[in-house]
Amino acid sequence: MTAANDVVLARTEGHVTTWTLNLPESRNPISGDDVVNRLVELVAAVNVDPQTRVVILTGAGSAFSAGGNVKDMVDRNGMFGGKPHQIFQGYRRGIQRLARAVYTCEVPIIAAVNGPAVGAGCDLTLMCDMRVASTKAFFAESFVKLGIIPGDGGAWLLPRAVGAARAAEMAYTGDRVDAATALEWGLVSRVVEPEELLATAQELAARVAVNPPHALRATKRLLRESGRQDFDGFLELSAALQALSHPTEDHREALAAFNERRVGDFTGE
């Protein structure tokens, strides 16, 4: 049996933390309480750690994530068991808790999609801010194939990533979208060979992590809020976050580094 902390591995180097879904023998399902609890725990730790500026999320083995555990669905175990009101609560306390945590993580998350991202696994990539994919990756909003719907928020996330028409095509057919098509549709920002995937994600993470941590977190909050607020309310939030940014030591350091044509040394102060 995999230990609780081993279902998702965490490794930090400098200002970048890498999370690896670590149930490769079952293609990294994310519907179990152990995985949900571990990811929620990792997000909470990152949110209070000023040294972490970027997260990379990937999968062990050949798959990124198969999403929900189909065997548990067949056996009516875990969040898939019980009467309708129990299943309702199971989703709210399970996969939806994971979705809220990952989507609202305060630092940018890069999904390094090493292989198939299916169902909730596809939606997990959409909860991240950026996605890079291996040529072996594919994406499938495949819930309809199992006679169910995206209970994890995927129907909200997907149109924001690929537009309404393509989201409808993916959700109504459940068909696979290969890496090349995902790139064309804007679902991912780049596609690389499998052996280059982590290096590519790390290079992107390094380009993000070089920036002041307060500004990164505030920028992410603005991007998340941009789809939920009207323009007037959004301008108010922007002004408030800007007022908090100008007095920081990192802002002064950024100005000095700009004028002196050097890389800034940021502390989060």
Position 222, amino acid: L
CB 99 within 8 A of CB 126: no
Query: Which pTM does this prediction carry?
Result: 0.94
Distance separating alpha carbons of residues 35 and 21, to the nearest angstrom: 8
Tokens 């200002």 found at? 15
In this structure, what token pair is assigned to residue 250? 């990192």
- pLDDT tens string, the chain, 269 residues long: the values are 467 789 999 999 999 999 999 999 999 999 999 999 999 999 999 999 999 999 999 999 999 999 988 888 888 888 888 899 998 998 999 999 999 999 999 999 999 999 999 999 999 999 999 999 999 999 999 999 999 999 999 999 999 999 999 999 999 999 999 999 999 999 999 999 999 999 999 999 999 999 999 999 999 999 999 988 899 999 999 999 999 999 999 999 999 999 999 998 898 88
